[in-house]
Amino acid sequence: MFITFEGLDFSGKSTQAKLLYEYLKKHKVKCILLREPGGTAISEKVREIILDREHIEMTPLTEFMLFSASRSQLVSQVIKPHLKKGYVVICDRYYDSSIAYQSFGGKMELNHVLQVNNIAAGGLVPDITFLIEITPKAAFARASSRRNSKDRMENKNTAFYNKVYKGFKEIAAKNRKRYTVINGTLSIDRIHNIIISIVNKKLSK
């Protein structure tokens, strides 16, 4: 089973991905926790190139291709082999983030993103995707309570995050079968309980 977490910065994806991972471990379910971009030696190096603040000349296409390269390596080297061995694979962000950030929020054409996503993922679609939904306003509020992180979000303006927010909502609406949208302003425990009830239901099928 392949489970992905999506949502705006500070929505709580990493918090929930980790809690789910620990829960499954505790219940002796074989699982791994990954993050995007990253998760392999090559993908982590690509991550550094993407996140390097000195690379201000990077074009939107280059950025998107780097995300896709990192993803492609992660899917081939780690995700698919683990799924084959019966692991539950949990990924903190996956290709829907490219649709939301690079297409809805950025300059990439949606059609191009969809095509390259499919190529980079080798056709691998998540079984379950959790969209942890908080508004850009709530995300900014969480960011400002953490000093260093604030800079990161303020790099991009509110208009950008509004578009990304809308993008995630549209992606979820178009992929109802695999998507669960969760109100990210609920408590960490409540969100975790919603997530484990859905995962357990799917695991028992």
Contact region with Mg ion (CB under 5 A), list: 10-18, 126-134, 144-152, 165-173: 10-18
Of 73, 20, 76, nearest to 45 by C-alpha is 73
Measured from the CB atom, the residue of 54 and 189 that comes closer to ligand ATP is 189
Binding at 179: pick from ligand ATP, Mg ion, none (beta carbon under 5-8 Å per type): none
Could you tell me which residues come within 8 angstroms of residue 90 by beta carbon, excluding any fewer than 6 positions away?
A: 3, 4, 5, 17, 20, 21, 24, 31, 32, 33, 34
Contact region with Mg ion (CB under 5 A), list: 9-17, 57-65, 98-106, 149-157: 9-17
Measured from the CB atom, the residue of 69 and 100 that comes closer to ligand ATP is 100
Sheet bearing 31-35, strands edge to edge: 31-35, 88-92, 2-6, 128-133, 179-183
> Which structure tokens are listed for 45?
């190096």
Instruction: Write out the residues near ligand ATP by the rule CB under 6 A.
Output: 7, 9-15, 142, 184, 186-188, 191
Measured from the CB atom, the residue of 43 and 116 that comes closer to Mg ion is 43
Using CB under 5 A, list all residues that contact Mg ion.
Answer: 14
